[in-house]
Amino acid sequence: MAEKPSNETILEQLKNGVAKFELVSVTARSISTHDYQTFQPSFSGTSHRFFARISPPIGNGGSPAMKKVERYSVLRVTGDGRCLFRALAKGMAMNKGIPLSPRDEREDADDLRMAVKEVICNNGKERHQYEEALVAITVDESLKRYCQRIGRPDFWGGESELLVLSKLIRQPITVYLPEHEHTRGGRGTGFIPIAEYGAEFSKGSVTRKPKKVVRLLYTGRNHYDLLI
């Protein structure tokens, strides 16, 4: 069993925005519900790690999880293992007013996955620009193993891929939890922001237009949907 980190180490991780948390569900065998296709993750265990970005905070200070509840509609995304990439592709297309057919959505999702593979696995020089993602990846597995898995269409994306894609495609992304999951048994119907990526790209600059945020909903079923 791994040694428990000291309080000093935990505080340093919080300060640097690399603290590691776990969202534990009753079962981790599938991210499916009765509405989704069955998906068997390629790794074992009773929980999946989600690396929460604590710093910098969303808004004017304080942890993102402490911000007030926000209200959106949920746009369901197919749970075939591509859900993170599908939700991101769908959100970016909607922000541009571009409709996606089911085929386009699947192909765009695979393009995003393979873009991550290209910079992390096939480009040693460019890889070092994504140190945070590399740290998140190698916590649980070797880079070699990761690169073998990400080539498969049912690869389950998460924190590492969001760290890469937000920077690679200059896309601001905010991840939310359902209010009732955050409050542990509560009945709220809103959503709480817990992680933010690529916030600098929502501001724009002299040479770059600001981009609309894509809002992703992460649930205890290890699934991503889109918030609109």
Which residues are part of the catalytic machinery? 80, 83, 223
- Round the CA-based radius of gyration of the chain to a whole number and report it: 17
**Terminal-to-terminal C-alpha distance of the chain:** 42
Query: In sequence order, what are the residues at sequence separation of 6 or more whose Cβ sits closer than 8 angstroms to the Cβ of residue 163?
Result: 130, 132, 133, 136, 197
Burial track 208-223 (b if 16+ CB lie within 10 A, e otherwise): eeebebbbbbbbbbbb
Residue 174 CA, distance from chain mean position: 8
Q: Give the full edge-to-edge strand order of the sheet including 74-75.
A: 74-75, 223-227, 214-219, 173-178, 191-197
Residue 106 has φ and ψ, to the nearest 5°, of: -65, -45
Query: Residue 128 CB: number of other CB atoms within 10 A?
Result: 9
Would you say 150 and 121 are in contact if contact means Cβ atoms under 8 Å apart?
Answer: yes
Helix, strand or coil, per DSSP, at residue 219: strand
